[in-house]
Structure 1
Amino acid sequence: MNSFMSVLESKVLPVANKIGSQRHLLAIRHGVLATLPLTIIGSFFVILLNFPIDGYDEWIAPYRAALDVPFRFTVGAMALYAAFGVGSALAGHYKLDQLSAGFLSVLAFLITCVVPTQVMETVPGVIEAGRWLPISSLSAASLFGAIVTSLISVEIFHFLIKRDIKIKLPESVPPMVSNSFAALIPTLVVVLLFWGIRYGLGFDINSIITTLVSPLKNLLVGNSLLGGLLTVFLIVFFWSLGIHGPAILGPIIRPMWDSAILENMDTFARTGNAANLPNLFTEQFIQWFVWIGGAGSTLSLVVLFLFSKSKYLKELGKLSFVPGIFNINEPVIFGAPIVMNPILMVPFIVAPLVNVVISYTFFQLGLIPMIMAKLPFTVFSPIAAVISTDWTIMAGVLVILNFFISLMIYFPFFKMFEKQHLRDENKIEDGPVEKKAGIKYA
C-alpha cells in the first residue's frame, strides 16, 4: 500500500497538477463557470412554467410567452456568454485587455456559428420580412464552437500585441481609448479569418467540432452507464489524491455537462415532458443522487463521525455536518483526512460508484423522469432531486436510499479508522501525537 501511494504521489500528482494549471483549460473552466448564475436563473423560469398543479397550465397560458423570455435570453443564449467568458479569462492570463478580448471572442463566435436567416415574406403575428439572427444558434448546441473560436481569437490577439502589431497612441491618451485602438488590427484579422473560413471556404467550424466531440459527449454525459461510472471514478480518484477532481476534468467535462442539461431544459421547455429528455448523466444527476453531502457521498461518513467514540472524529463530525447538508465537504476531506488515506479512500471511491448503478437502475425502470432543471449545488439533495425531476417524490426517496447504502459501505472502514484514532488518543499521555496528520496507517 505504501509503495502504491508513493507511485501516486511521484507519478500521478505532477501530471494532474500540470493538466489542472494549463492556461487554455483554466480559461475554459473559468469562462464556462461564469455563466452559472444565468443558467440557474433560467432554470427557475423553466420550473415556474411547469408546476404540476391541475389547472396551472390554463391559468398561466396568457403569460407563458412573456415568462419564457428570461429562459431564452439566459439558457437560450448560453454559448454567447461562454464565448465572452472564455476569451476574457484567457486574456487575463496573458495580461491583455479583457474587455477587448471578450468582444473579439463574441465576434469570432457570431461570424462562425450564427448564420443570418433571410425571411422573404412577412407572416402576420409571427415574423416580419427581413434578415434575422436565429437565437437557436446561440444555445448550448454551439457551445463547443464558441469555446474553440474564443481561444483562437484571443491567441491571435496575443500574437499581434506581443509583436507590437497595433495602432499606438500617445501616452497621454486614456487607457480605455488606447486599448480600443490597440484592438483594431486584431479585430480586422479575426473578422477576415473567420469570415473567410465560414463564407469563403464554406467551412462550418461549429458543426465539425460538435461532430468530433459527440462520441465523447454521448459516452460521458449521455445515457451510458460506463460513461457515468468513468466520470465519477475519475473525480473521486483525483479528490482522494488531494486534487480538486472537477478542476482537472472540468475543462473537458463541464462544457459537456452544461450542454447536456441545457439540452434537457430546452426540450422540457418545448414539450413539458420530463420522461423523454435526451441526457441522463448530467452534472445534476451526480450532484443529487451520487454526491450526497459532496464528492464521495461523505455526508454518511460525517454522520458516523457524530457517533464516534473518538473525541477528534466526533468534533470533526460536528464541524462538518452543517456544510455537508449543503454539499460542501472540504472539512471532512482534508480534516479526517480522506486525502491519501488508504482506509477511507476505498469507500470514498466505492460508495459513489454504487450510487451511480442504483440511480441508473431507477431511471432506466422509469421510476424517475429525467432531470430538467439546474439548481444551485448547495440545495439539500432530497429537495433538489424532487424539484429537478419535475417534482417527483420518488427522486427524494432514492437520495435517502443512496445515503443509507453509502453509510453501510463506509461503516466497516469507519470502524477501522476510529480504532486507530482511539489507540493514538489513548497513547497521548506517552508523547505528543498529531491527530490530523500524524496517524500511522497500517
Structure 2
Amino acid sequence: MESKKESTFDKVEGFIRKTLVPIANKVDNNPYLTAIKKGMVVLTPALLLGSIAAIFPSIPEFIKAASVQNWFEQYGYIFSLLSKVSLGLVGLYAVLAIAYFLSEEWKLYTIGSMILSAIGFLLVSMDLDKDGNIIASYLDSKGLFAGIFISIICVSIYRFFTKHKLVIKMPEGVPDFVSSSFELITPTAAIGALFIMVRAITDALSGGVLLPQVIMNILAPAIGSLDSLWVIYFVLVLRLVFWFFGIHSAVLSPILSPIMVQYLSENLANHEAGQPLTHVVTGGTLSAFANFTGSGVTMGLVIAMLVSRSQRYKKVGAVGLLPSLFGINEPILFGVPIILNPVLMIPFIFGGAFVGMIPMIFMKLGLLNYPIFDPPYVPVFMEGFLTGFDWRSIPIQLLQIALSFGLYLPFFKVLERQELEQEKVVSANKDQSITQVISDEDEALLADLDF
C-alpha cells in the first residue's frame, strides 16, 4: 500500500516538474515580468505614505482635545496633499520603476528610459479642462495597468532604436551624458508620434474615454475576480503548490502585485472619502493572514514538534519558533522537511490555503475590517491588527493557530512514528557497537592475562 502511495506521489511530482517548473522558470527569467515584479515592490513607500495619509485624519474622532481639533482644522490639508503625491501618482511611479528595471536588464540609458516611458504614459493618461489646466485623474492606481504596458512598449522601442543604430551618435570626446541625451531624440520622436496616434484613435473609438479606463474596462472581469473567495482559495493553493515543489511563490507576483496595489489604493481612497471598502486581497492580507507564521500557516506544525517525543523534531520546532513569529518558516519548510514530503502535502497545500483565507471570510461576513495598510515586517498579531486596525484580528488569528495545530497534528504523528522507529534503530545499533567494542576489549584483556 505504501509503495502504491509513493508511486502515486512520484507521478504527481513528475507531472508538476514537467508542467509547472518550466513555466515558473520562464516567468522568473522573463525580463518583462521580472521588471514588473521589482517595480511593484518599489511602490511600497508610496503605499505606506498613502496609508498614513488615510489613517491620521481619523485621530480627531478619538481625541476630542481642542488643541488637536484646531491643529487638524488648520493643517489637515497636509494629509490630503500626502495622499495626492503618494497614491494619487502611484501609476506614474510604477511606470518609472518598471522602465528603470527593464532598462537595467537591457543595459540601456536608465534615466532616458524612464523619461521616454513617462512621456508615453502622460500622453494617453492626462487630459485638459476648458481652461487648459491639466486633469491628472489616471495617474493613480486606475492608470496602473496602462502604465505597465506603456513602460514596456517605450523601453522596447528605445532598445530597438539603439540596437539598429537609429539614434544620433555624437563624436568621441563628447561627455557621456550629452551623447546619451542626443540618443534619445529619435526614439522620443517615435514614442511621441505613436502615443499621439493612440490617443487620437482611442478618443475617436471610445467617445473621449482615456486609454487607462479602456484597459481597465477590458481587464475588469479578471481583476475583479480576485476578490472571490473561490479565486482566493485557488490562488493560495497555487502559491503553496509552488512552495511545496521548491519554487518561490514570488513567480506569481507579476500577476498578483498590480491587482493588490490597485485594491489597496481603492480601499484607501474609499476610506478617505468615507465610502465602504470593497477589496479583501492586498499585500497586507496576504502577508498577515494567508502567510500567517509563514506560507501554509505552519505554526500548528511548530507547536506539534515542540511537544513531540522525537528529539530531532523538538530541535526543529525550537529553531523554527522565533522566525515563525515574524512570518518566516523556511527553517520548517526545509528542516522537517515540508517540501517534497508526501505526508505533509495535503495539510500544507489544501489545509494551509483554507486556514490562510479564514480572516478574509470574516471580512466578507463583516466581522473583520477590510485592509487599509500593508504593515512593513512586524511580528504576527501586530501585523494582522495593523492591516485593518481591528483588534478582532487577534482572536481570529488564534483560531488560525488552533485550526493549524488540529490540521497538521495527525499527519505529523505519522512522521513522528517513523522518526521514533528510526531513532530506536540508531540507538540499538549504537548500543550494539558499544557492546562489540567492550567485548573486543575484554578479549584483548583476557589474551594479555593468558600471556
1: CA distance, partners of 2:300 / 2:172: 61
Summarize deviations over 1:110-134 as a string: whole Å, max 9, x none.
1111223344xxxxxxxxxxx3333
Summarize deviations over 1:68-127 as a string: whole Å, max 9, x none.
2222211221111100111111111211112211111111111111223344xxxxxxxx
In the alignment, structure 1 residue 198 sits paired with structure 2 residue 199:
yes
C-alpha change, 1:338 and 1:182, in structure 2 (3 Å) is same
1:62 equivalent among 74, 78, 83: 74
C-alpha change, 1:118 and 1:298, in structure 2 (3 Å) is farther
C-alpha change, 1:336 and 1:98, in structure 2 (3 Å) is farther
Q: TM-score of the superposition, structure 2-length normalised?
A: 0.86
Aligned-pair RMSD on alpha carbons?
A: 2.1
In the alignment, structure 1 residue 8 sits paired with structure 2 residue 6:
no
Q: Confirm or deny: 8 A CA contact 2:292 2:356 kept in the other structure.
A: no
C-alpha change, 1:296 and 1:425, in structure 2 (3 Å) is same
Which residue identity lines up with residue 418 of structure 1 in the other structure? E
Secondary structure of the equivalent of 2:166? coil
Match runs of 1:336-347 below 5 Å? 336-347=336-347
Which residue identity lines up with residue 58 of structure 1 in the other structure? Q
Structure 2 stretches of 5 or more lacking a match? 1-8, 431-451
Which residue identity lines up with residue 268 of structure 1 in the other structure? H
Residue in structure 2 matched with residue 182 of structure 1 by the alignment: 183
1: CA distance, partners of 2:53 / 2:300: 33
Summarize deviations over 1:222-277 as a string: whole Å, max 9, x none.
3x1111111111111111111111x2211111100110011101110121x6xx20
Residue in structure 2 matched with residue 149 of structure 1 by the alignment: 150
Match runs of 1:4-403 below 5 Å? 4-51=12-59, 53-55=62-64, 58=69, 60-119=72-131, 131-199=132-200, 202=203, 204-220=210-226, 222=227, 224-245=228-249, 247-271=250-274, 276-355=276-355, 358-376=358-376, 378-389=377-388, 391-403=389-401
Which residue identity lines up with residue 408 of structure 2 in the other structure? Y
2: CA distance, partners of 1:20 / 1:320: 28
1:198 is displaced (CA, Å) by 0.5
1: CA distance, partners of 2:314 / 2:219: 47
Secondary structure of the equivalent of 1:138? coil
C-alpha change, 1:13 and 1:428, in structure 2 (3 Å) is farther
Which residue identity lines up with residue 382 of structure 1 in the other structure? F
1:343 is displaced (CA, Å) by 1.5
1: CA distance, partners of 2:148 / 2:16: 32
Secondary structure of the equivalent of 1:281? coil
Which residue identity lines up with residue 104 of structure 1 in the other structure? L
C-alpha change, 1:67 and 1:424, in structure 2 (3 Å) is same
1: CA distance, partners of 2:164 / 2:127: 33
Q: Confirm or deny: 8 A CA contact 2:288 2:387 kept in the other structure.
A: no
1: CA distance, partners of 2:211 / 2:73: 39
Which residue identity lines up with residue 145 of structure 1 in the other structure? A
1:201 is displaced (CA, Å) by 5.4
Secondary structure of the equivalent of 1:381? coil
Q: Confirm or deny: 8 A CA contact 1:46 1:373 kept in the other structure.
A: no
Summarize deviations over 1:143-190 as a string: whole Å, max 9, x none.
001101001001101111110111111232222222221122111111
Q: TM-score of the superposition, structure 1-length normalised?
A: 0.87
Tell me which protein shows more helix as a share of its residues: 2
Q: Confirm or deny: 8 A CA contact 2:88 2:141 kept in the other structure.
A: yes
Identity %: 28
- Which contiguous aligned blocks of 4+ residues in structure 1 show a shift greater than 4 angstroms? none
2: CA distance, partners of 1:207 / 1:252: 19
Summarize deviations over 1:321-354 as a string: whole Å, max 9, x none.
2221111222222232221111222211123332
